Amino acid sequence: MLTVVEARADEWTEDMDNRIHKGIGVGLDRGFLKPGDNVIVVTGWKAGAGFTNTMRVVTIPSTTIEKPIPIVAGAPNPLEGVKEKDF
């Protein structure tokens, strides 16, 4: 289990990206992961319970990148334009 002790980012998508990258970094540091490995990221389209609907395969980069690639923040919203009252 991994506990993230850094402060949460104000923006939910940025916070999720930070946590995912932290987990990948710990996996690399501990030897669980290596560059070129694939990681399955399961998340939701918005904060809160009951919104998990997205699974992405992320390949660990072969080089260190200065600015992490957005994983959640860069994902398209599958329900863009749909209002909660619609479902």
CB of 19 closer than 8 Å to CB of 70: no
- Whole-number pLDDT of residue 64: 63
Name which residue leads in pLDDT, 71 or 32.
Answer: 32
CB atoms under 10 Å from CB of 15, counted, come to: 18
- Alpha-carbon span 73 to 7, nearest angstrom: 18
Decide if pLDDT at 33 tops 70. Answer: yes
Tens of pLDDT, residue by residue over 39-82, are 999 988 778 888 888 888 988 887 665 556 666 766 655 555 55
pTM: 0.69
